[in-house]
Structure 1
Amino acid sequence: MPINDFKTRILIEKGWSDDIKYCVITPEGKKYLLRISKIEQKECKKVEFEMMQHVEELGVPMCKPIEFGTCDEGVYFLQSWIEGEDFGEILTTLTNKEQYLYGIEAGKILKHIHTIPAPDTQEEWKVRFNRKILRKIQMYKDCPIKYENGQSFIDYINENRYLLKNRSQCYQHGDYHVGNMMIDYEGKLQIIDFDRYDFGDPWEEFNRIVWCAQQSPLFASGMVNRYFDGDVPMDFWRLLALYISSNTLSSLPWAIQFGQSEIDIMIKQAQDVLEWYNNMKDPVPSWYKGSIK
């Protein structure tokens, strides 16, 4: 399907991706999502496309990969168009039961995604993530702005990094939270934006759950409960607190380049995290509601 054949091309400005995104429409009125990347990203984008094909084969509700190729503007990636609403924008308008049930669905989908194994050549997780931890701690130390009680994150990481040993690895969506979900017009949850995919500890994938819990503790609780079929191991909570601590440390230096509004968002998120975890003394966050009938 030559991309020049599309009758209409509408720029999409939402999201943090470096890709240029368009809603494109054929002369017959059919819509697609078109993502264009720099030509030097051809090989990694090809792997991204192939991995999305594997995810689609599992029956995951998602923006489906249709075509990959090169064009005058770089590398293009054609996907199906989802008619619906951004899930993050409607989540809090739903009933408590609906929020929890959508969380259940999100946990079920994530468990399917994590059945795709990591390559045999993948570096040992403990080695790789400890290197990431050191980098993020240094980023925070070099940052001109600090969180109130930010040392609690560093202390928790150093006390619990032994948990990284012997962790299995799998394919990860890479940015799994309410901001990368949609509700189609039939009310079905759809997963979008797989461009930050990675391979790693499946439990690390929950590090973005802070965005879910801030909006809906019920949704976040449902997601965890379904993923573990109602039997959440304590080591999961301990490791999740480590992953969230690591993420939170690097969020502040990342936000500086985007200005005060992003800095304020990350400071507020760090305050929420410290409150949920009682200054990183309690591994089970206060937003977690347990099993709900």
Structure 2
Amino acid sequence: MMNEDLAQAVKAEVPLLRKLAELREIHKGYSPDRKFEAAADGRRYLLRIYEQRLVARKQEEFKILQELHERHDVRCSRPLGIGMLSGLGLGYMLLTYIEGEDAVDELPRLSKGQQYDIGYDAGSQLRRMHQIQAPDSVAASWAQRSLAKHRKYVDEYSQTETKIERGDRVLGFIEEHLHLLQHRPVSLQHDDFHTGNLIIKDGCLAGIIDFNRFDWGDPYQEFMKTGMFSSEVSIPFAVGQIRGYFQGREPDELFWTLYSMYIAMCLISSVVWIKKVKPEETGIMMEKINRVLADHNDFQAVIPQWYSNYQ
């Protein structure tokens, strides 16, 4: 589908974009949506285009964004409209555009103090997001769902040629702590909360983007992306995020044990995911995995070195 055809459909079907002046595709990220920066009437918007089969999920995402923005004061895009481009058989979601630069690019240019403060702010925002509790039917099945997902990844991992060094230690650590999945609180999850999905402007956190992977689960699971990705970009940010989430208090041993179990699970699933989705980036992913193993001394330590050594 050419962007010219899409532009004509957008003008005809999206009320706020009747006077569309520009439609520029955004190619960053792994989202299945097509994303566009749109300009109309002197304003900039984010336009997401998705397949018709995703309509119900996108309607739920739209409602979640409304609640986050209006009731919890979370710095995310405000949803403005949702509907169908009937001539193309595609759905659309229109949101406000968050101005700024990706945190993954901007953080290294800032002072360590600024990086920490932005992380603290991000942790506070994440805590607000986790105030949205899961529906009872979803919450009750968390342990079962999480365990089934892990077992599936382990089966697939066992069949791949790519293996984690001392992977038996990783799998053993997970097995030893799987009982902790029981009786956990279950809330909304962004499910991809890291520096690649945060926007910085003028040295401050401008907003959180890409909620399309939202899920319901243990809020502590959200931090595995902190160790997997954000700590590689900025340790001050990662430390700040954890302290901001806990409102300046140090997290307890239960947090660190769950964090370590979830990031260990992430190592296994990451091998499977990269081989399926981006096999050409397997080397990059294995470097990240080896860094996490070193951070945890092959999971003999639940607090990662980047946190315990931070001053």
TM-score (norm 2): 0.89
Residue 135 to residue 258, structure 1, CA distance change in 2 (3 Å): closer
2:238 pairs with 1:224: no
Alignment of 1:1-293 (within 5 A): 1-2=14-15, 3=17, 5-26=19-40, 28-57=41-70, 58-71=72-85, 72-73=87-88, 74-122=90-138, 123-185=140-202, 187-209=204-226, 210-229=228-247, 230-259=249-278, 261-289=280-308
Q: Which has the higher helix share?
A: 2
Distance 2:168 2:46 in 1: 43
Aligned-partner SS, 2:307: coil
Distance 1:16 1:140 in 2: 21
Asked whether the 8 Å contact 1:82–1:184 carries over to 2, the reply is no
Asked whether the 8 Å contact 2:198–2:207 carries over to 1, the reply is yes
Aligned-partner SS, 2:82: strand
Instruction: Specify the code of the residue in structure 2 equivalent to 1:220.
Output: A
Asked whether the 8 Å contact 1:173–1:194 carries over to 2, the reply is yes
Residue 34 to residue 114, structure 1, CA distance change in 2 (3 Å): same
Residue 186 to residue 276, structure 1, CA distance change in 2 (3 Å): closer
Asked whether the 8 Å contact 2:47–2:92 carries over to 1, the reply is yes
Deviation at 1:132, TM superposition (A): 1.3
Residues 75-106 of structure 1: CA deviation (Å, up to 9, x unaligned): 10001112211111011121111111111101
Deviation at 1:56, TM superposition (A): 0.6
**Structure 2: stretches of 5+ with no match in the other structure:** 1-13
TM-score (norm 1): 0.95
Aligned-partner SS, 1:241: helix
Asked whether the 8 Å contact 2:198–2:209 carries over to 1, the reply is yes
- Once the two structures are overlaid, the 10-residue window that deviates more, 263-272 or 147-156, is 147-156
**Structure 1: stretches of 5+ with no match in the other structure:** none
- Structural RMSD (CA): 1.6
Residue 19 to residue 142, structure 1, CA distance change in 2 (3 Å): same
Asked whether the 8 Å contact 1:10–1:23 carries over to 2, the reply is yes
Aligned-partner SS, 1:249: helix
Deviation at 1:7, TM superposition (A): 2.1
Instruction: Specify the code of the residue in structure 2 equivalent to 1:221.
Output: V
Residue 39 to residue 64, structure 1, CA distance change in 2 (3 Å): same
Distance 2:241 2:309 in 1: 11
- Once the two structures are overlaid, the 10-residue window that deviates more, 275-284 or 183-192, is 183-192
Instruction: Specify the code of the residue in structure 2 equivalent to 1:164.
Output: L
Deviation at 1:186, TM superposition (A): 7.0
Asked whether the 8 Å contact 1:48–1:195 carries over to 2, the reply is yes
Aligned-partner SS, 2:297: coil
- Match for residue 5 of structure 2? none
- Match for residue 6 of structure 2? none
- Once the two structures are overlaid, the 10-residue window that deviates more, 259-268 or 139-148, is 259-268
Deviation at 1:282, TM superposition (A): 0.6
Deviation at 1:129, TM superposition (A): 1.0
Residue 186 to residue 290, structure 1, CA distance change in 2 (3 Å): closer
Residues 134-174 of structure 1: CA deviation (Å, up to 9, x unaligned): 01111211111112112221111001111111001011111
Asked whether the 8 Å contact 1:62–1:192 carries over to 2, the reply is yes
Count of aligned pairs between the two proteins: 291
Distance 1:227 1:291 in 2: 17
Aligned-partner SS, 2:204: coil
Aligned-partner SS, 1:130: helix
Residue 249 to residue 119, structure 1, CA distance change in 2 (3 Å): same
Residues 116-143 of structure 1: CA deviation (Å, up to 9, x unaligned): 1100111432211111110111121111
